[in-house]
Amino acid sequence: MPHQKMPKLLTSEITPQDVYRQRREFMRLAAGTALGAALPYPIFAGEKLPDRVKSAYELSDKLTPYEDVTHYNNYYEFGTDKESPAKTAGSLKIRPWTVSVEGEVRNPKIWDIDSLMKLAALEDRVYRLRCVEAWSMVVPWVGFPLAELIKRAEPTGNAKFVEFTTLNDSAQMPGVNSSVLDWPYREGLRLDEALHPLTLLTFGLYGEVLPNQNGAPVRLVVPWKYGFKSAKSIVRIKFMEQMPVSSWMKAGPSEYGFYSNVNPTVDHPRWSQAKERRIGDFFKRPTLPFNGYADQVAQLYTGMDLQKFF
């Protein structure tokens, strides 16, 4: 697939973090107390989220360092190499932001991001989850089960699948000017997968608001699937009767199936998936079926040929 070379960002063009945070704090104070009262939840990347209830799914694995989690990213809207998103995603504007819930539901609704975060305050948990692509991380995501939003939408009997569409704005996202994928980015799940308590709508990591390069202001996390299934910067959630065609399925149907479950016995046509490299480790380790969550999710696929439905 063709890749467009992204322009280099000079070190001198990057605002130091301490200066950036001082500047935005000044802007917050200058806006007055009325605005502060209207926005009870943090809105800037790096700001602390309120304390959360820990999840029953928390792992004992060592966490991947914050610097790696936020500076080694797949986010093609901001560049096709792992380092570009952290450099270029500052152009993403996360307010105002809405997520449309539509399709085969009895209660379609356009949610603004602050309403979703208020819902998160009622339902969320801290999830310390393994996430796998060709490499893997252990990330303490802050989010809540997508099922809580689905319950409020009340899917009809025709709803069998859920499609997620992400922001497509060339003014904010330099990568969408490339032909590497057919934009906007789309992903999908079967409804029972979307209802599983490990499928998260996520607003933060490490107890802080999501950085732009990690999918701010709201993203999906599906930890038993390969990382590209976890759509970032979501603007639409659509319930459908027919299976949606995801972006990577469309780009390479022989390489990227709809399910994309972590399966060490199914090789990618161009490489083995039997082993993975945890970020920060030198040696590879065996890839675990369903990324180690087989006890929780394997029953979703009882009787399915997982080599055919990859």
pLDDT tens for each residue of 223-251: 999 999 999 999 999 999 999 999 999 99
Picking from 59, 57, 87, 56, the residue whose alpha carbon sits closest to that of residue 71 is: 87
The region that residue 207 occupies, defined by phi over 0 for left and psi between -120 and 50 for alpha, beta otherwise, is left
Which token pair is 121? 């305050």
Model pLDDT for residues 75-134, shown as the tens digit of each residue: 999 999 999 999 999 999 999 999 999 999 999 999 999 999 888 776 656 677 777 666
Judge whether 209 and 45 are in contact, CB under 8 Å.
yes
Q: Buried b / exposed e across 180-199, counting CB within 10 Å, b at 16+?
A: bbebbbbbbbbeebbbbbbb
Task: Give the Cα separation of 290 and 88 in Å (integer).
Answer: 32
* Cα 71–chain centre separation: 15
Task: Give the Cα separation of 231 and 24 in Å (integer).
Answer: 28
User: Which range among 18-27, 28-37, 43-52, 80-89 has the greatest average pLDDT?
Assistant: 80-89
**Structural domains of the chain ordered from first start:** 11-301 (3.90.420.10)
Judge whether 87 and 222 are in contact, CB under 8 Å.
no
Global pTM reads 0.85
